[in-house]
Structure 1
């Protein structure tokens, strides 16, 4: 789908213009301003090897997915974007592309539970070694690098403790030690943070979250700064096959169009909820990078354009009190995932991070995580007031 807007010149247009137009030129056949859903598995060839537009089979390429992949590259400022069936499919394909048995990687000591499970229980059986490290401490990261270290894996903000990692500082460490810096940008989204511009080599996303934005699709993405690495990942994407289907690609593409305006509202609502929670007697502490008291606030303010819609807090009274709060909200839906237009509440220790229980990544039992949606703020505050009472 020829398009004058692509990931190779990300500074020509503003973020919202790229989100709406990159990879999405009006359909040449009908003039449709929305990319069609090419719900097909195969394509007619004009003679053996005579491909129309380069398409032969939808695992290898599909026009709807191509539009999404061009848009992903454009909004992240990368050379190549690839769309996957889920965030973990993207992570698995990427790590099997970058690493071989015997390689070592550094993992955050507060990583997302699914990432930890993939690395610790799947990839270690394939011969990958890993070390958990506090990624906000660049000195600790440098000290943990081994001769066989291939990847430094970063989340920022982290899930669910909302720690912040200095991407530029770790990019320098990574360059000095000839490793690859991968940043999971799911919590911030490309609207609030641009890891590739800060020196990262690769960005990953669960597009299920803010990029899709409506809790109606599961997907993942990889965006690379180096075209050659992009080609390698694309080869494995096709070889391993965990690709995003046409309808899922269309849903994520639709979500990206409104990412900027949604993130503005997510951030605004989250900031007001943080002010409320910070003064509530039932709350012992609030974890949010926008707070001046957050230990990494200055780094967040430097590398992000907003502090996001994710808020975590600890409840006085321990785990049982936290569980009670999670069960009493009405507008905040008790559920896993995040980044949708509706507000969600969850208990990480029992839900999203149950897989790290008993490990060095175990999260506190009194912790509650909010994904703050775009509802009217007065209604969200009333719901939390009732639940905390």
Structure 2
């Protein structure tokens, strides 16, 4: 079966993760796709070079403009997201900026969600206005929020779901319908879910982006991004911002992501299963005042499991009862969790959004976006979940011991 041309039935996403994008017979019998680690490509003659530059003949010219390794990744991601084409970028932020700047110009207006990744917020709030692009941030909880923000010059709507870092889930059906009704370009960051847990294209979304650094690669050794959309929009993105600004992915990074994608389905299943167990443990702990995880019935996004999302993902946020200093002490006490930003790795990670990933927000902007100073975000990795819970427990016990010592000291001082 040629997986790329099977017209009868689309293969299961688990199968696409391994086989989509491969060119049958193109790799001299190699089972694993080769790495085309080259900057440029040789033409048979001057006429062929001219024809390729003119777009009259297919073929590769220069790796910034295209490469067989990155192309395999692009075809695979398009298949997984049920869209026509994709563009591989150097970073997740290159994907965000490429998706936005390829279609926005001075005088345009974009509606964006208040709570998004810190650097996405900085791009929208600090950079776009410099170029004459107006931005309105809203909560996106209901259709009235969208309608009130709509202007005659609105061209695009941007959001991520689940939202980083409080895991709030947006209604993609409402989002997509609003954009289609008003002929707006819809952009969704699907990083937290991966295409195996959520397919925004099912709800009419125009552009889907990923930080491929996260679940798609899954091994903490790549910085990269992906933009997925229609063939027409991807061509525009590649021939404008990516070509001229240059934020394209290296073939070596593409090769590593292709390798990571082969295990995406089994990794996501483990991430979801372990994160659910960790979230349930945290929700029962007396030092935790609130847990943010769509897999919990108490979470706002739980209603979307099965309807919009196949699972709740591997990221959990929670509020630790106590001071900022106790929160820092809790993080410092972790032994198995690594103190690091990012997510989707085999290793479990823990970080403090207010002072780390979302530091581009002012305190007032963070409060408005629902990001408190006490919020802690963890990315649940692939370790044994009982070991992860044991690590959390010893950190909680450490905080309790600190409080006990503080009380004992106060009594002794009297």
**Both proteins in one fold, TM over 0.5:** yes
Q: How far 1:93 sits from its partner (Å)?
A: 1.4
Gaps of 5+ in 1: none
Which structure is larger by alpha-carbon Rg, 1 or 2? 2
1:242 and 2:247 correspond: yes
Q: How far 1:202 sits from its partner (Å)?
A: 0.8
1:366 and 2:374 correspond: yes
Superposed, which structure 2 residues align to 1:1-389 within 5 Å?
Answer: 4-6=2-4, 12-25=10-23, 28-50=26-48, 54-224=59-229, 226-236=230-240, 237-362=242-367, 363-389=371-397
* 8 Å contact from structure 2 (residues 27, 34) kept in 1: no
**CA offsets per residue over residues 107-164 of structure 1, 9 Å max, x none?**
1111110100111122221111111111232321222111111111111000001000
* 8 Å contact from structure 2 (residues 162, 168) kept in 1: yes
Report the Cα distance in structure 2 between the residues aligned to 1:144 and 1:179, rounded to whole angstroms: 13
Q: Which secondary structure does the structure 2 equivalent of 1:222 belong to?
A: strand
Report the Cα distance in structure 2 between the residues aligned to 1:260 and 1:380, rounded to whole angstroms: 21
Report the Cα distance in structure 1 between the residues aligned to 2:27 and 2:302, rounded to whole angstroms: 50
Q: How far 1:223 sits from its partner (Å)?
A: 0.2
Alpha carbons of structure 1 residues 256 and 210: separation in structure 2 relative to 1, 3 Å: same
Q: How far 1:53 sits from its partner (Å)?
A: 5.7
Q: How far 1:180 sits from its partner (Å)?
A: 1.1
Q: Which secondary structure does the structure 2 equivalent of 1:182 belong to?
A: strand
Alpha carbons of structure 1 residues 140 and 9: separation in structure 2 relative to 1, 3 Å: farther
Report the Cα distance in structure 1 between the residues aligned to 2:99 and 2:2, rounded to whole angstroms: 28
Q: Name 2:404's counterpart in structure 1.
A: none
Deviates more, 1:63-72 or 1:49-58: 49-58
Q: Name 2:401's counterpart in structure 1.
A: none
* 8 Å contact from structure 1 (residues 26, 34) kept in 2: no
* 8 Å contact from structure 1 (residues 209, 337) kept in 2: yes
Gaps of 5+ in 2: 398-414
Q: Which secondary structure does the structure 1 equivalent of 2:102 belong to?
A: helix
Deviates more, 1:279-288 or 1:226-235: 226-235
Aligned residues: 386
Alpha carbons of structure 1 residues 9 and 361: separation in structure 2 relative to 1, 3 Å: farther
Report the Cα distance in structure 2 between the residues aligned to 1:164 and 1:360, rounded to whole angstroms: 19
* 8 Å contact from structure 1 (residues 136, 163) kept in 2: no
Q: How far 1:7 sits from its partner (Å)?
A: 9.1
Alpha carbons of structure 1 residues 11 and 188: separation in structure 2 relative to 1, 3 Å: farther
Q: How far 1:240 sits from its partner (Å)?
A: 2.2
**CA offsets per residue over residues 215-259 of structure 1, 9 Å max, x none?**
0000001000x3221221121222221100010011111111111
Deviates more, 1:66-75 or 1:313-322: 313-322
Report the Cα distance in structure 2 between the residues aligned to 1:7 and 1:213, rounded to whole angstroms: 28
* 8 Å contact from structure 1 (residues 349, 357) kept in 2: no
Q: How far 1:325 sits from its partner (Å)?
A: 1.2
Alpha carbons of structure 1 residues 295 and 214: separation in structure 2 relative to 1, 3 Å: same
